[in-house]
Amino acid sequence: MRLFSQQEINTGRQYAVDMAKMFAIFFMVIIHTFENGEAEMDSGIGYFFDSIVGAQFGAPVFMVCMGIGLTYSRKSDSKTMAHRGLLLLLAGYLLNIARALPMFLLVPATHDTSYYADGINALTDVDILQFAGMAFLLLALCRRLNLSFVWLCLLAIVMSVAGSFIRKMDFGSFWINLPCSLIIGIDTELVKTDFPLLNWFSFVVAGYGFGLLLRRCTDCNKLNCYILPVTALIYAAYTAYALPRGIGMFGDCPQDFYHMNFLDMIICLDASLLGISLCHFIAKVMTDNLMQSVTRICNDLTKIYVAQWIIIMWLVRGFMTEYMGWELSIGWLFVVGLGILVLSIGWARVKPLSKLKI
C-alpha cells in the first residue's frame, strides 16, 4: 500500500498534534515562571528547560501545529484568516497592557522609576500572539493572490534567510523600531521582538505542508516510524555538536534563539516533527477520557496562554520577585509553575475568559 493516496483520507482529529501542543504549553509555563522568578537559567534544570526542551519543543511546535491546523480548518479563506489575524494582534497587545500594569504599579509602590522602562518594554513586546496575527495576515494576502504552495515555500525560505542577517536590530528611534518589530528582530531597551515574522513564518508554512501530507496519509503509524528515528538522529547529532560550543541558538544571548538563523530554523523544525511524531505514539496508548481532556486543553490553548502570562506577571514577577524580593529555589519555582498551569487551565473555562473568541 502506498503511504500517500491521491485522495484526502486522513481528515479526522489529529491527536498527536493535540498532545504536542499540550506538552509545549507545559514547557512554556515552566520557562516563563523560571524567567520571571529569576531562576538560574545558565546551567542545570533552568538551562535544560530554557535552552533545550522549552526552546526547540515549545514555540516552534506551536507554529508548526498552527500550520497543520490550517489544513484541517473548515474556514481558511482569505477574509476569515485576515479577521483572525487582526483579532490575534489585538489580543496580543491587550495582553501586553495586562502584563505591563504591574510594572507601572511598582513605581509608586517601590519609588523605583526604572520600572517605567520594564513597563514600556512589556507594552511593546512582540510575542507569540502578535506573530500569529501577522502570520495569518500574510497568509490571507497569499491566499488572496492565489499563490501556490511552492511559491509559499520560496517566500518562507527567503524570509528566513533574510531574518538570519536582519536581526538584533536598533534603528536608533523608538518610533521606527516599534512598527518594524512586528516583522524583523528588534532588540532594544524599550522595544523587543521575541517572534519576528521573518524568522518564524517558515514554521507555519512547514506545518501547512506537513498537514497537506497528513490528509493524504494512508498509514500514520508507518509515517511516524520513518519520521521519529530520522528526526531524533538529526536533532541529537546537532545538539551534541552545537550545545557545548554555544553555536547559534545555543549561544549566551536569548535573542540567538528568538532571532534564529536559517540553520537553527531547520533544526527547530526537525525537533517539532520529532515531538509530534513521538506524541503520535503516546496518544495511541492514552485512554479516551485522557485524550478528551487533552483535546479540551488544546481547544482552550490561546486562553490558557493569556491566563498564565497574567498570573505570572502579577504574582511571580510583580509581587513575589520585585515587590517582596523573594528568591525561590528552582525546585519551588517548578512547583509554582505547575500550580500556575493548573490555575490557567481552570481560568480559561470560566467567564469572562471562556467567552473570548481567540
Tens digit of pLDDT for each residue in 117-160?
A: 999 999 999 999 999 999 999 999 999 999 999 999 999 999 99
Q: How far is CA 259 from CA 193, 243, 337, in A?
A: 8, 17, 26
If one counts every other C-beta atom within 10 angstroms of the C-beta of residue 283, the result is 18
pLDDT tens for 153-185 read: 999 999 999 999 999 999 999 999 999 999 999
| CB count in 10 Å sphere of residue 128 | 22
Considering only CA atoms, which of 354, 168, 128, 149 is closest in space to residue 260? 168
* C-alpha cell of residue 36: 520571571
Residues 6+ apart with CB under 8 A from 58: 24, 27, 28, 31
d(CA 25, CA 280): 17
Quick one: pLDDT at residue 59?
93
Per-residue pLDDT of 11-52, as tens digits, reads 889 999 999 999 999 999 999 999 999 988 888 888 888 888
Query: How confident is the model at residue 138, as a pLDDT?
Result: 97
Q: Are 345 and 300 in contact (CB under 8 A)?
A: yes
What is the structure's pLDDT at 73?
86
Bridge partner residues of 192 (DSSP): 187
Phi, psi of 193 (to 5 degrees): -105, 120
- Range list of H helices, the chain: 15-36, 44-47, 54-56, 59-72, 78-110, 115-124, 128-144, 149-165, 174-180, 197-215, 220-242, 255-258, 262-284, 288-299, 301-311, 330-347
pLDDT digits (tens, 9 = 90+) for 267-293: 999 999 999 999 999 999 999 899 999
